[in-house]
Amino acid sequence: MTAGGRCLSAEADGRRRRVRWQGPVGPSGADGRVRRRPAAERGRPRPGTSAEKCRLWPHRRVSGVRRWRVWSSVTQCHAAGGVLAGHGQFEGRGKVRAIGLSNHTPDLLEAAERIAHVDVIQPPFSAINRSAAAEIAWARAHGTGVIVYSPLQSGLLTGAFSAERVANLPADDWRAAHDDFTTGLAANLQLADALRPIAERHGSTLAEVAIAWALAWPGVTGAIVGARKPEQVGGWIGAGAVRLTPADLEEVAAAITASGAGTGAARP
């Protein structure tokens, strides 16, 4: 979902996330280990195109949500070292159109940028979890796109949750033990309620306002929004058309401060 209302898709399956470079290339190949060549070099482009559109290289595991394998640093990560360098070459040959990194801190992004230009990053970002503000600022300064994920913070910013519903979550539901749904629940629900008047003024849903807020953050290019049921899509599909005013954004910032919800700056 982008600010213009156009849906984006960036896929990275298990094979492509773990693809390896063959031979000693840069710091990652210093041990001389033989590594698999990237799919772009093996002549396996994405269906429907002669070049891969984007590769998202993950860095760390996000607490409470199963994400991707753990890599401790750019120099220890063969993808950000050898493969990133290799994909910089492939980009020049037209085999890779864009290089992306997911869940990398500014220092890792800076190190990666010295190897090859980072075209896009994918951090978590919402009105509750604003911890990626520094990464987004880095991307804006370097001409790098930003596709944020989890802008609804696992449903907390849809208006569908209440203290009663959370109390009745199954014991094996990861949310039942997560800070956002336990110690931080009251503040998060207070923030969600504060978005309702804005949604009413725009004739939109609370979820659409939450996504529009993320899209309005300077530097954000698009947002990845998930749905478990088809009917849930109807609750946020219009977010790209919602244009929050400066007064709206200030109202959200004030609500963030008043509620104490989440972490990170309330304003850019």
Greatest mean pLDDT among 9-13, 184-188, 224-228: 184-188
Look at residue 132 and tell me if it is in a domain: no
> Using one digit for the tens of pLDDT, what is the confidence trace for 58-81?
444 444 333 333 233 333 333 444
- Residue 5: per-residue pLDDT: 41
Residue 264: CATH number of its domain: 3.20.20.100
- Residue 249: per-residue pLDDT: 97
Contacts made by residues 250-255, CB under 8 angstroms, sequence distance 24+: 251/194, 251/197, 251/198, 252/127, 252/194, 252/195, 252/198, 252/213, 255/190, 255/191, 255/194, 255/195
pLDDT for residue 153 is more than 80: yes
Specify whether 103 is located in the same domain as 11: yes
Average pLDDT for 23-43? 41
Specify whether 2 is located in the same domain as 60: yes
d(CA 32, CA 30): 5
Least confident of 123-132, 144-153, 228-237: 228-237
Higher pLDDT residue, 12 or 147? 147
d(CA 257, CA 188): 11
Q: In the structure, what pLDDT confidence band is assigned to residue 252 with cuts at 50, 70 and 90?
A: very high
Average pLDDT for 200-211? 96
Average pLDDT for 85-103? 64
Look at residue 127 and tell me if it is in a domain: no
Specify whether 158 is located in the same domain as 241: yes
Domain membership of residue 177 as a residue range: 152-268
Specify whether 115 is located in the same domain as 168: no
Look at residue 247 and tell me if it is in a domain: yes
Look at residue 263 and tell me if it is in a domain: yes
Average pLDDT for 168-184? 92
Both tokens of 95, joined, read: 């085999």
Q: What is the pTM of this model?
A: 0.70
Specify whether 82 is located in the same domain as 43: yes
pLDDT for residue 20 is more than 80: no
Neighbouring residues of 238: CB distance < 8 A, sequence distance ≥ 6: 5, 204, 205, 208
Specify whether 92 is located in the same domain as 180: no
